[in-house]
Structure 1
């Protein structure tokens, strides 16, 4: 039986970060900080707000879906035929914050985008940790 798969794949990155949720939240929601670890942007932390992330390779059209300060942030991520969602979850721990990012909505035939996201988010996380280390 050959049916089209409607299942989607997700890229999940989880890290224990030795900073409080409030500090990580700033890195996730302040445009000048987002630019330092992700891309140039016109982000505003407002539900339904549309924003664009721009890199050397092109841009991503996004829209804020959900926002719960210092806890969770979710937005659409549309680029090069990919319609997906990025969700950040911050959970306080004794040593700082458990930060979880899930980028969901990759279809089986989008292996290149899926692999690119797996690679890209690892890089973005490393950059964010450098930004956090420099922040007050």
Structure 2
């Protein structure tokens, strides 16, 4: 059974960081920096690039769909039957950068994945908050 667009759910996490967009962009797009707060990966910020994230629980297959340096990054996120899209949006602010992550495409029968993403992305943002101050400006 296919879910209609109205039935699909989205996880959104937003946070303000006291760092310029350039620093957050590096954390979102450089493999060794992604390793530090998200997962092991073979990411490249190039539309059409296929990559995966790897963790002790398994892997996520992804394809980069959009790259607007220091503004927007999007990729597919496919794992365990979940076919979703993760979109990062960076907005410069007076105090640094407002970062928004949206993961869309959770079907009604994917409650566990939906709840896991709500929990997991908060933890990833916490980890990102911890590693950013250690990055070279």
TM score, norm. by length of structure 1 = 0.96
Match of 2:96 in 1: 96
Quote the Cα distance in structure 1 between the aligned partners of 2:68 and 2:3: 33
**1:80-130, Cα deviation, whole Å (9 max, x unpaired):** 000000000000000000000000000111000000000000000000111
Quote the Cα distance in structure 2 between the aligned partners of 1:131 and 1:67: 23
Quote the Cα distance in structure 2 between the aligned partners of 1:135 and 1:58: 28
Match of 2:60 in 1: 60
Quote the Cα distance in structure 1 between the aligned partners of 2:87 and 2:49: 15
Write out aligned runs for 1:97-136 (5 A).
97-136=97-136
Greater alpha carbon shift after TM alignment, 5-14 vs 75-84: 5-14
**1:49-71, Cα deviation, whole Å (9 max, x unpaired):** 00010000000000000000000
TM score, norm. by length of structure 2 = 0.95
Report deviation, 1:19.
Answer: 0.4
Match of 1:30 in 2: 30
Aligned residue pair count: 134
Write out aligned runs for 1:66-81 (5 A).
66-81=66-81
Segments of 4+ moved more than 2 angstroms: none
Question: Cα RMSD between the aligned structures?
Answer: 1.2
Structure 1 counterpart SS, 2:131: helix
Consecutive unaligned residues in structure 1, runs of 5 or more: none
